[in-house]
Structure 1
Amino acid sequence: MSMKEVGEQMLNMQNKNSSYFVEWIPNNIKTAPPHGLKMAVTFISNSTGIQELFKLISEQFTAMFHQKAFLHWYTGEDMDEMEFTEAESNMSDLITEHQQYPDATTEEEEDFSKEAEEEA
């Protein structure tokens, strides 16, 4: 499969399943083979799994922010406490958005799974 075909298939997948793709999350697809090699592999994954890391970071941030730990360093540099409140809200929104599609799959993947089950 050529690099152009990989790119086209990715675009088709994104267009066909646009409700599962958020604009601001990059697709992270590298379609060029490494220098000196004739072939490469393309890996496509569900990035909604990162929500666990976001939750952990958010919990740690919230705990420190509510204790006002280290806040004086930032407010001393002319940052407003409201910026941290907004950041906390943005992180919460990010987690919520990732939770909308925790088990998102493509139709092709579901068809492939059904075929594999039928063969077994």
Structure 2
Amino acid sequence: DPKNMMGASDFRNGRYLTCSAIFRGRVAMKEVEDQMRNVQNKNSSYFVEWIPNNIQTALCAIPPRGLTMSSTFIGNSTSIQELFKRVGEQFTAMFRRKAFLHWYTGEGMDEMEFTEAE
């Protein structure tokens, strides 16, 4: 769900270099490991093959307050390039219009610094 992501990018357009799954609550570690292995085998095209054992799992037996179980997935994916490309395009569009540039030049920056950053 994109609303639960820190950076909105479509993971299907990239490949996972590494990832971590953290579980809290009453979960059997064997079940967690088996399920993570199944996920990696079924979706092998989303994982790079040149980094062995690139999935880490962690388990905490104490569930969060008010819940019986929770999990968190953290992935290092090449799909982040979409976000950087989009931000770069937005920067270029705003810089061409010189939007907000006066705030920075008023603080002592030079317009050439933005040209070099582009």
**Same fold, judged at TM 0.5 (above):** no
Q: Of Structure 1 and Structure 2, which has the larger fraction of its residues in helix? A: 1
Q: Of Structure 1 and Structure 2, which has the larger fraction of its residues in strand? A: 2
TM-score of the two chains, using structure 2 as the length reference: 0.38
TM-score of the two chains, using structure 1 as the length reference: 0.37
